[in-house]
Structure 1
Amino acid sequence: MRLFQLMILTALALSSFLVIAQHFENNQLIFPERRILAFTYKGANEEIIKSTLPRIVSNIGNEPGSWVYEWSKLASYYEDQGDDFVEDGYLEKARDSFLISSNYYAMAWFPNNYLPEEKVAYQDHLRTYLKAGNFFDSPLEVIDIPFRGSYVKVYMHKPVGIEKPPLILYTQGADQFKANAFPTVSDLVEKGFAVGTFDLLGTGENENWKITPSGDELHLSILDYFINTNGFDNSRISFVGFSFGGYYAAKLASRNDPRIKSIISFCPVFIQFTGRSIDQIDNILRSPEGAALVNLLRKAGAENPRDAEEALEILSSFSLHNQGLVGSGKNIATKLLIANGTNDPLGPVQDMHLLYNSAINADLWLLGGAEHCAVEYLPITVPHMADWILNN
């Protein structure tokens, strides 16, 4: 096993306190720099984001000055621009405009996708991504996969000119879904992979189910489907998961399914986020981080997501340590890569080491002083991830 530390000397000096989502302090909107970096990486314009934020005076509603309205207004502008490009025959420009539009619609519903106005923005986000997908080098395919008496959707991105490419099945977290990962997915496709993105149970279009510790059963059902349909290189199927998707990627690795070639668990949250005490959870629920935690607990079926005792009971059930999957010897045989920044209180370095030391054949990449999911490193790290999968 190797321990690989990717350090960039010009990394930003980042705070040790992680603020997850937008909130108001003294009637002033605070949107964490980490989130601005993330949405900029996904296609938004940093200057436009920073010039829009002062106009926002409310997190609810769909009136001028509300979070949903201001980002949706921007998204609508770029969607109209894309439609004009299509009419004029500029299809690559149309694709890019639709992707920008989809990203701003994603900002409009972020992070909850709960209120009615957020649900509308989410559907607009999907709709504009599908419009962009018509103009990908290999047009986007939407695949309905049977699951528990219903269906889940996989967005399949394929490389051009490869008949049966290796397959990556890709998930994000509890507040980032299958249609807002294009820069990362595009880098992987350029390396010759087909990439199928899908929503975790309890999130995105899979809200008919709850987030539960056994949510990786969905991953296995999707794996079964693609192996049985035999449209890809079945000998080279890998999973990549970010954040809460990284949690399920780590749990999936512990199943030691021989059909899975390798797994990347990027910024996984699996011990620290589950809490240590009712007082700790109560403090988080009362902090600016509280809204994001309430969102997760709601998706997990909490009757009162602001009740610290109920929250601790739910969260502790997710701990891979409590489940005996990490910290009790080298139980993981699947080839595994773990990666994260070193300044992530949700997925601290000690948790990354615990997962690393629970695997027989693993690599650990610690990305400078970055916070959760190390977005500032992704343009460099993702191509290396693709190479890691190809080499393993």
Structure 2
Amino acid sequence: MPMVDMKEDSPATINSMQRKQALETSGVVNSEAGQHSVKPGWYREMRVFKWSWQGLSPLLIQEVQARIAVSNNERTHADLIDTVKGYRPGNWIYEWSQEAALRMMDGKRALEVADLELAKHHFLQSCLLYTVAGHPHLRGDKLANDAHLLANQAYQQAGLLLPNPLKIERVPFQGREVQCYLHLPKTDDPVPLVIMAGGGDALQTDYLRVFQDFLEPKGVALLTVDMPGIGYSAHWTLSQETSALYEAVVEHMSESPYVLADKIALMGLRIGGHAAVRTAVMMPDKVAAVAAIGAVVHDALVEPKVETRVSQMLIDEIASRLGVDSARPHLLAATLTNYSLRRQGLLGLRKINVPMLGIAHPQDLFGTVEDAKLIAQSSYGGEVHLLKRPTFASAYDAAFAKACDWITRHLT
């Protein structure tokens, strides 16, 4: 048998070494890698309600968490479970990516035997798992970026197998193009459109169920867009003009042959709600309605001690979107005050003709009830809806059900 030449400088070996040496997530945007965890034990905030609602098994989530927890490999912070260094067993991205890769292979096997429904299921599972692997999606996190790439590949594979195949829209923006996903109901006629502005911890692949459960049955299309600082929009930072990207998207989609130009609405979650509301204020003649879920538009942005109320992960996440160092959270908090839509003079001074719905949870520290009222009071036809489940996280599905029902009534 001939000898196999295992050169140390082969591309595969170099890539493996780079992965093992890649900076661990908790230190990516923090020059001092200092931590203050609100929930001791984990660096990441667990989005179990969200992941389960999207389609991941709670038992699988617990299984992967357990594999991370029992690892004896070196951690960046000995007291934070999910900070195992390098791409190896126990590392958050490694463990979730292993599961995702298995589902990807299952999907390809199902395609080989022409079981298209099963293949679609496995590809969507793979996408979800790769997306969780990249959580909280910090810019400069090489391993997370690899997971994002694979999540999108899996999503596009699944998209080919949908009843109405996924379409990709490339929107020109500031000298580049932003890749967006367009889901259309089965019809040959132009349809109303909802543009989804996701939260700061989400990729645009997170919202397929919103389309399938709430919009498609009403004959409404969904276009998903990554927020600046994440996914396909990672080239840009999230500036005070959070609506800039979405204004470009609205302009682009108003020319689409698939869409009714006078029936374009926006739905936003968390900071995406900020962007959606700001877009409506800047383009009142182009936007038909806005539903803002837990939108952060004023209160949390001007809170002087915000860094003492949130986890280090969330501080890092915000810093990543803004393109700053999270090692100085007090400076980050000072920067955020400039993002207040009240202080920008865009909310609270006058009303616009675009109907706007503010959805909030009474116990939410970020998208407060007062912020929801501010949104509604700045709109003719504005409304407020309060979520009734124990926490904002547990009301994820109820919030989308209400938002989609309200917004489709204004579109159809």
Q: Assess same fold via TM > 0.5.
A: yes
Equivalent position SS for 1:327: coil
Matches within 5 A, 1:15-54: 28-29=41-42, 35-54=47-66
Matches within 5 A, 1:73-88: 73-88=98-113
- Which residue matches 1:314? 335
Query: In the alignment, is the contact (CA less than 8 A) between 1:244 and 1:268 conserved in 2?
Result: yes
Matches within 5 A, 1:242-257: 242-257=269-284
- Which residue matches 1:345? 365
Tell me by how many angstroms 1:362 deviates: 0.9
Does 1:292 pair with 2:314? yes
Tell me by how many angstroms 1:256 deviates: 4.8
Query: In the alignment, is the contact (CA less than 8 A) between 2:199 and 2:269 conserved in 1?
Result: yes
Structure number with the bigger relative contact order (C-alpha 8 A, sep ≥ 6) is: 1
Equivalent position SS for 2:255: helix
Tell me by how many angstroms 1:380 deviates: 4.2
- Which residue matches 1:200? 227
Tell me by how many angstroms 1:290 deviates: 1.9
- Residue type at the aligned position of 2:320: R
- Residue type at the aligned position of 1:89: A
Task: State which structure, 1 or 2, has the greater radius of gyration over its C-alpha atoms.
Answer: 2
Deviations 1:257-304 (A, max 9, x none): 212111111211112221422xx13424xx5x12222221232122x3
Q: Relative to structure 1, is the Cα distance of residues 96 and 382 closer, same or farther in structure 2, using a 3 angstrom cutoff? A: farther
Equivalent position SS for 1:268: coil
- Residue type at the aligned position of 2:160: N
Tell me by how many angstroms 1:139 deviates: 0.7
- Which residue matches 1:228? 255
- Which residue matches 1:217? 244
Whole-Å Cα distance in 2 between the matches of residues 389 and 51 of structure 1? 43
Query: In the alignment, is the contact (CA less than 8 A) between 2:375 and 2:382 conserved in 1?
Result: no
Does 1:108 pair with 2:108? no
Equivalent position SS for 2:103: helix
Residue 283 of structure 1: which of 290, 303, 308 is its match?
Answer: 308
Whole-Å Cα distance in 2 between the matches of residues 271 and 24 of structure 1? 23
Query: In the alignment, is the contact (CA less than 8 A) between 1:29 and 1:53 conserved in 2?
Result: no
- Residue type at the aligned position of 1:363: E
Unaligned runs of 5+ in 1: 1-21
Equivalent position SS for 1:166: strand
Query: In the alignment, is the contact (CA less than 8 A) between 1:347 and 1:372 conserved in 2?
Result: no
Does 1:265 pair with 2:292? yes
Residue 95 of structure 2: which of 47, 67, 70 is its match?
Answer: 70
- Residue type at the aligned position of 1:213: Q
Query: In the alignment, is the contact (CA less than 8 A) between 2:107 and 2:119 conserved in 1?
Result: yes
Whole-Å Cα distance in 1 between the matches of residues 206 and 191 of structure 2? 23
Whole-Å Cα distance in 1 between the matches of residues 353 and 38 of structure 2? 46
Query: In the alignment, is the contact (CA less than 8 A) between 1:78 and 1:97 conserved in 2?
Result: yes
Tell me by how many angstroms 1:214 deviates: 0.7
Query: In the alignment, is the contact (CA less than 8 A) between 2:356 and 2:375 conserved in 1?
Result: no
Whole-Å Cα distance in 2 between the matches of residues 24 and 382 of structure 1? 30
Does 1:189 pair with 2:219? no
- Residue type at the aligned position of 1:218: L
Q: RMSD of the alignment, in Å?
A: 2.2
- Which residue matches 1:177? 203
Equivalent position SS for 1:388: helix
Deviations 1:192-240 (A, max 9, x none): 1121111122221111111012121211111111223443111211111
**How many residues were matched structurally?**
361
Equivalent position SS for 1:151: strand
Does 1:354 pair with 2:374? yes
Whole-Å Cα distance in 2 between the matches of residues 224 and 250 of structure 1? 16
Equivalent position SS for 1:56: helix
Matches within 5 A, 1:110-129: 110-114=135-139, 115-129=141-155
- Which residue matches 1:371? 391
Identity score, percent:
22
Residue 151 of structure 1: which of 174, 177, 201 is its match?
Answer: 177
Query: In the alignment, is the contact (CA less than 8 A) between 2:273 and 2:294 conserved in 1?
Result: yes
